[in-house]
Amino acid sequence: MTESVVVVDCDDLDGTEHRRAVRMLLDDVQGFHAVVTREPLARGRRPALRVDVAPPSAAEQLLAWREVLGPVAEERADELDRIVAQFRFGASAIHDLGASFAVDAGGQTGPRPRTTLWNACRQRARVGLDELAQRLEPIARWDDLVLPAPQKGILRDAAAHVRQRATVYERWGFAARGDRGLGISALFAGASGTGKTMAAEVLANELELDLYRIDLAQVVSKYIGETEKNLRKVFDAADAAGAILLFDEADALFGKRSEVKDSHDRYANIEISYLLQRMESYRGLAILTTNMKNALDPAFLRRIRFVLQFPFPDVAARTEIWRRVFPPETPTADLDPVTLARLNVTGGSIRNIALGAAFVAAEAGEPVSMAHLQRAARSEFAKLEKPTTDSELGRWS
């Protein structure tokens, strides 16, 4: 018997066999020992005291920030309120971030940009999530998004919910009545190329948050319990950052829950129920995209806060997209957006055509013209296996 304490870190245990091996080891360990784990281990032969350690509250995080920043904290009071509402850091992470910020600020003679500490928090929160999902660099802004006014209004409402989450949930008491339904989720439905991913980029830019695309092909598993484990890893890592999660082609996972006819159906429904539970408790914004809204379970739709239908662009919308598609630096010659809008395609295809025409023109050493766009359009239509008409691809040059 010694005065040492054995600490067993089980956070990264993977699989039932590993957990069973740890339980056998702990049964043989003499003296006091502590087990650190996300999920409780099954009881062994020896009695155990369970202590649940909750993540630090917003008030506790704010106190830690004030201690490490000292006098600077008063100058950054509004920013710190925003940070503790968005990120969930432990004491050690706050100490590291605050100390680094204070050292950097020491050599500055003028006022420091107010986004510096926020961006440092974003970078720190990426640790872990970068290994599980693809981080997208958001480029699109409101002016790049061609949508009807009602759809843009819904997007602005979603941004407001994320920004004002701390005020409504904490200060105005909604969180005290239970955490069910507090997660902010949105469903973007529409044909491919109608702007769903661009809208997610716009929200990420507006909110100054990271945007991560979840590859459902890597999340969904045929093995029982694996899908839930993969989803848990994603949501646990994202919780610290409050990042925007983008689940592309969500109908692959979130289809109509089937009647239970066999064990496979029962476990498929368990996966969906687990996802609904995590979305309702997730602190950030989760966006689901689908090309087939009708394939989604109505019970699932009722638990989504924002449902946004992206329409196929009409002639007026296509004309506006053509007017905006070329960067100011691109040389163009006598382009006619009204004629180009006759092409019955989505905004994604319009971008592909514009990009293809730019390469053709660059190779010829010429500004982009209608002739280049006609050639690129024929290539795009062939790729889509879509027939063309004279009204769409007539004499443009």
What b/e sequence results for 210-239 when a residue is b if at least 16 CB atoms lie within 10 Å of its CB, and e otherwise?
bbbbbebeebeeeeeeebbebbebbbebbb
Residues paired with residue 9 on neighbouring β-strands, in sequence order: 36
**CA end-to-end distance (rounded Å), the chain:** 91
Average pLDDT over residues 130-148: 91
Q: How many CB atoms neighbour CB 24 within 10 A?
A: 11
In the predicted model, what is the mean pLDDT of residues 10-28? 67
Boundaries of every domain in the chain: 1-53, 58-125, 131-310, 315-383
What value does the mean pLDDT take over residues 329-347?
93
> What's the mean per-residue pLDDT of the chain?
82
284 vs 41, higher pLDDT: 284
Q: Which residue has the higher pLDDT, 44 or 193?
A: 193
Q: Residue 350's pLDDT is what? A: 96
Distance between CA atoms of 323 and 347, rounded to whole angstroms?
12
Higher pLDDT: 188 or 180? It is: 188
Higher pLDDT, 16 or 302: 302
Backbone Cα Rg of the chain: 26
β-bridge partners, 134: 213
Give the mean model confidence (pLDDT) for residues 358-367.
Answer: 96
Higher-confidence residue of 196 and 250: namely 196
CATH fold of 315-383: Helicase, Ruva Protein; domain 3 (1.10.8)
> Mean pLDDT throughout 158-165?
92
Write the DSSP assignment of 65-114 as a string of letters: HHHHHTTHHHHTHHHHHHHHHH----HHHHHHHHHHHHHHHHT-SSPPPT
Give φ, ψ of 255 to 5 degrees: -70, 180
pLDDT attached to residue 28: 67
Q: Over 90: is that where the pLDDT of 348 sits?
A: yes
Q: Say what the pLDDT of residue 17 is.
A: 62
Model confidence at 260: pLDDT above 50: no
pLDDT average, residue stretch 45-74: 84
Confidence grade of residue 248 (pLDDT, cut at 50, 70, 90)? confident
pLDDT of res. 154: 97
| Mean pLDDT along residues 267-272 | 61
- Tell me how far apart the alpha carbons of residues 157 and 292 are, in angstroms, rounded to a whole number: 24
Confidence class for position 48, pLDDT limits 50, 70, 90: confident
pLDDT recorded at residue 389: 67
With cut-offs at 50, 70 and 90, classify the pLDDT of residue 318.
very high
User: What are the φ and ψ backbone dihedral angles of 140, each rounded to 5 degrees?
Assistant: -65, 145
Residue 105 has pLDDT above 70, yes or no: no
Both tokens of 62, joined, read 């704010």
Q: Residue 381: pLDDT above 70?
A: yes
Q: Using a pLDDT cut of 90, give the percent of the chain over it.
A: 37
Output the pLDDT for position 396. 66
Confirm whether pTM is higher than 0.75.
yes
The pLDDT of residue 262 is: 47
- Assign 109 a pLDDT band (cuts: 50, 70, 90): very low
In this predicted structure, what is the pLDDT of residue 217?
A: 65
- For the ranges 39-53, 93-107, 172-186, 264-278, which has the lowest average pLDDT? 264-278
Q: Is the pLDDT at 119 greater than 80, yes or no?
A: yes
Residue 111 has pLDDT above 60, yes or no: no
The CATH homologous superfamily to which domain 131-310 belongs is P-loop containing nucleotide triphosphate hydrolases (3.40.50.300)
Residue 102 pLDDT > 70, yes or no?
A: no
pLDDT digits (tens, 9 = 90+) for 204-228: 999 999 999 987 666 766 665 677 8
Average pLDDT for 329-353? 94
